């Protein structure tokens, strides 16, 4: 008996004539995820099989498979020759010690001498001989054991279906640029867009020496966690110190956050176009802070000329965002006490409902384009 992983995809089923391209992307992503782990990936109707995995690498392979977007579940199965004798010998490890059970059989090989119901009856009889205290329950069993008899001359036995990340294969929707801070929200936003098939790139703004090197490292660590879900992550780090200093010295205090966000969006769009990204993503949630009101978002969006701006968290509350951050493994890193550039020179009373003409008048007091060009000369690119 060989242990294999049966992998199931989800939304790809809904695709039409272009389904092949989505499957190809998913297969490539699976291979990349388990790169370095000896294995063989096979494609069958409606699922994939990852086999020839060394026993001591099985858990590692499973942990990586869980993070592949496009897969909805997997099962650890045993692969045996398709005969009743082999099936009867293989079922014992799947039987519970007590309670109720049932066998669910799929007979894809119509030449197999018994039909699905007959196979289930025979295997149920063997199970009751091995575990006399068990009872059959066809409608609400404590444990369901699946048997899949294939046309290729082998069968699979499995019980648990372990959830994966779902969504669409990363790369199938193109590339996107996310403004990645050290907070809780933006990594979750990046995760959610990657789940919709975007290969995410990141831009981070730091203000050394007002922010510490540990604040920058924190964001690199967050990007590293995100890389596990999409097979790598490229982070552009932009020095924002001089821009913030100029805003602080020349612009009304209450407009600082809005002007800062507008310049960030301009820089993000420039970098996004350079890297072939078709969108910008932020971690904004409506009304969470002063810069995330309808009016502030409108004024900020006005600086983006060619790309759509996605805000996947816009209707989520903080508890929902935190729940997702915990699930994907970014929360503990996000709450480390290292400040990012958004906390530098914070105004006491930031404007909540800015008018575009007010902000443009305030921006005219600094050389916005010159500051952007200077910042873009020294972008640090970190590949994870």
**224 and 300, same domain (yes or no):** yes
Neighbours of 117 (CB within 10 A): 11
What CA–CA distance (Å, rounded) separates 66 from 69? 8
Identify whether 362 is part of a domain: yes
**318 and 199, same domain (yes or no):** yes
Domain that includes residue 348, residue range: 175-383
**252 and 351, same domain (yes or no):** yes
CATH number of the domain encompassing residue 103 = 3.30.2130.30
CATH number of the domain encompassing residue 290 = 3.40.50.620
* pLDDT value for 208: 84
Residue 11: exposure state from Cβ atoms within 10 A (0-12, 13-18, ≥19) = middle
The ranges of the chain with pLDDT < 70 are 46, 339-347
Identify whether 252 is part of a domain: yes
pLDDT per position as a tens digit, 213-242? 899 999 999 999 999 999 999 999 999 999
Sheet holding 309-310, edge to edge: 309-310, 280-281, 175-179, 199-206, 234-239, 380-383
Ramachandran assignment for 247, one of left (phi > 0), alpha (psi -120 to 50 degrees), beta (any other): alpha
Identify whether 169 is part of a domain: no
Burial 74-83 (b: 16+ CB within 10 A, else e): bbbbbbbebe
**152 and 116, same domain (yes or no):** yes
**230 and 330, same domain (yes or no):** yes
The residue whose two tokens read 């978002």 is 297
**102 and 182, same domain (yes or no):** no
Identify whether 80 is part of a domain: yes
Q: Residue 180: CB partners within 8 Å, gap ≥ 6? A: 186, 187, 190, 202, 203, 204, 219, 222, 223, 235
* pLDDT value for 71: 96
**197 and 55, same domain (yes or no):** no
**138 and 192, same domain (yes or no):** no
**283 and 364, same domain (yes or no):** yes
Identify whether 170 is part of a domain: no
**198 and 345, same domain (yes or no):** yes
Structure tokens at 232: 């790598």
* pLDDT value for 351: 85
* pLDDT value for 15: 83
**pTM of the predicted model over 0.75:** yes
Report CA 209 to chain centroid distance, whole Å: 33
- Structural domain tally of the chain? 2
- Structural domain ending residue among the three candidates 140, 163, 186: 163
* pLDDT value for 341: 56
Identify whether 50 is part of a domain: yes
* pLDDT value for 344: 59
**203 and 148, same domain (yes or no):** no
Identify whether 168 is part of a domain: no
* pLDDT value for 347: 67
């Amino acid at each position: 008996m060989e242990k294999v992983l049966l992998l199931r995809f989800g939304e790809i089923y809904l695709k039409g004539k272009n389904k092949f391209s989505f499957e190809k992307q998913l297969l490539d992503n699976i291979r990349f995820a388990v790169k370095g782990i000896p294995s063989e990936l096979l494609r069958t109707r409606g699922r994939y099989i990852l086999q020839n995995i060394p026993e001591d690498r099985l858990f590692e392979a499973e942990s990586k498979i869980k993070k592949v977007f496009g897969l909805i579940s997997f099962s650890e199965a045993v692969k045996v020759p398709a005969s009743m004798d082999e099936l009867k010998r293989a079922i014992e490890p799947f039987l519970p010690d007590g309670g109720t059970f049932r066998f669910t059989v799929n007979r894809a090989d119509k030449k197999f001498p018994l039909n699905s119901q007959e196979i289930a009856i025979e295997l149920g009889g063997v199970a009751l001989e091995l575990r006399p205290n068990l009872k059959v329950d066809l409608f609400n069993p404590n444990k369901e054991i699946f048997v899949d008899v294939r046309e290729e001359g082998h069968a699979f036995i499995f019980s648990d279906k372990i959830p994966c990340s779902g969504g669409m294969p990363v790369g199938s929707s193109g590339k996107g640029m996310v403004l990645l801070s050290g907070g809780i929200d933006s990594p979750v936003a990046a995760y959610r867009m990657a789940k919709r098939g975007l290969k995410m790139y990141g831009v981070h703004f730091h203000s050394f020496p007002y922010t510490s090197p540990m604040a920058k490292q924190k964001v690199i660590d967050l990007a590293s966690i995100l890389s596990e879900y999409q097979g790598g992550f490229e982070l552009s780090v932009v020095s924002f110190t001089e821009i913030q200093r100029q805003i602080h010295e020349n612009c009304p205090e209450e407009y600082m956050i809005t002007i800062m966000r507008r310049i960030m969006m301009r820089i993000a769009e420039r970098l996004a176009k350079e890297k072939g990204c078709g969108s910008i993503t932020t971690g904004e949630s409506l009304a969470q802070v002063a810069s995330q009101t309808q009016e502030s978002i409108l004024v900020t969006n006005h600086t983006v000329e060619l790309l759509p701006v996605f805000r996947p968290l816009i209707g989520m509350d903080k508890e929902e965002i935190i729940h997702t951050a915990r699930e994907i493994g970014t929360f503990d890193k996000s709450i480390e006490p290292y400040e990012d550039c958004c906390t530098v020179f914070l105004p006491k009373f930031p404007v909540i409902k800015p008018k575009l003409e007010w902000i443009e008048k305030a921006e005219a007091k600094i050389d916005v384009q010159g500051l952007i060009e200077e910042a873009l000369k020294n972008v640090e690119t970190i590949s994870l």
